[in-house]
Amino acid sequence: MAGWIYDAGRTFSGFAGEENARDVKVLRERVSSLEQELAAARATADTSVSQLQIEKTTQDRLTQQVKRIEDDNVRLKADLAMFENFLGSDAGQANLSISRFQVEAQREGGKYAYHLLVTQHGKDKGREFKGRLQFAILGRREGQTVMIDYPEKDGVDFAGFSVNFKYFARLDGILRIPASVAVSSVEVRLVENGAIRARQSIGL
């Protein structure tokens, strides 16, 4: 549901200053709408489950619908809180930050989905950031500790990790690590002109 703010996949979005108040109003309205949708879905699920003749597929569908709306609601509320806090930030020292960093192993071996939010505060807020994402993966392979930099500079997907935004952006994508590596932690870095501007790590 929150995808109306950010393009799906690996896209980067920013907001013009004059549109901020309107965006907050729309976010609040969407939160209220989701609350109503969630209440209706829960009521439908509770009523349907009590009916012995209901098909299992219908039960599963209703359960998934409630879970999806709950997740969307939590995510949208977090977006609203972040957006309001962002609008209230002052024009002090420049600050580029990474938050909500998550990495999830996929069913296919060696694939990891990542999600993160990057924001630009202070005096640099609104300046166009042009850089890229870089990951440092720590793990073990055949009993040995290994460190993998991703993506490799000459790799075919290197260009796919470019980042371009002004205010804030949600970044999502897939890391493809050799299946023989048991990943223990992942660090994400926001790099601009060869310098690491922000970083955050997570254990798996």
Query: 57 with 120, same domain?
Result: no
Q: Which of 53, 88, 123 is the last residue of a domain?
A: 88
Task: Give pLDDT tens digits for 134-147.
Answer: 999 999 999 999 99
Domain that holds residue 109: 95-203
> How does 72-100 read in b/e, with b if 16+ C-beta sit within 10 Å?
bbebbbebbeebeebeeeeeeeeebebee
pLDDT reported for residue 11? 35
- CA distances for 88 relative to 18, 93, 168, 183, angstroms: 14, 14, 14, 38
Whether omega before 151 lies within 30 degrees of 0, making that bond cis, reads yes
Out of 88, 108, 131, a domain closes at: 88
Q: Look at residue 196 and tell me whether its pLDDT is greater than 70.
A: yes
pLDDT of residue 1: 34
Confidence of residue 8 (pLDDT cuts 50, 70, 90): very low
pLDDT confidence tier of residue 55, bands split at 50, 70 and 90? low
Distance CA 125, CA 88 (A): 12
Residue 121 shares a structural domain with residue 180:
yes
φ, ψ of residue 172 to 5 degrees: the values are: -135, 145
Q: What is residue 19's predicted lDDT score, i.e. its pLDDT?
A: 53
pLDDT more than 70, % of the chain? 68
Residue 113 dihedral angles phi and psi, to the nearest 5°: -90, 135
CA angle 192, 194, 200 (to 5 degrees): 65
What torsion do the CA atoms of 183, 189, 171, 113 make, to the nearest 10 degrees? -10
**Contact predicate 112/177, CB 8 Å:** yes
Backbone angles phi, psi at 44, to 5 degrees: -65, -45
Residues 64 and 133 in one domain: no
* pLDDT above 80 (res 120): yes
Look-up of token digits 């690996």: 10
Rounded to the nearest 5°, which phi and psi values hold at 54? -65, 140
Which band of pLDDT confidence, cut at 50, 70 and 90, is reported for residue 63? Answer: confident
pLDDT of 21 > 80? The answer is no
pLDDT recorded at residue 4:
32
Whole-number pLDDT of residue 12: 36
pLDDT digit string, tens, across residues 154-176: 665 667 799 998 888 889 999 99
Same domain, 84 and 165: no
Distance, CA of 173 to CA of 177 (rounded, Å): 13
State pTM to two decimals.
Answer: 0.61
User: For the segment 71-80, what is each residue's pLDDT rounded down to a tens digit?
Assistant: 777 777 777 7
Given a contact cutoff of 8 angstroms between Cβ atoms, the answer to whether 169 and 163 are in contact is: yes
Tell me: do 113 and 187 sit in the same domain: yes
Query: Does residue 84 sit in the same domain as residue 136?
Result: no
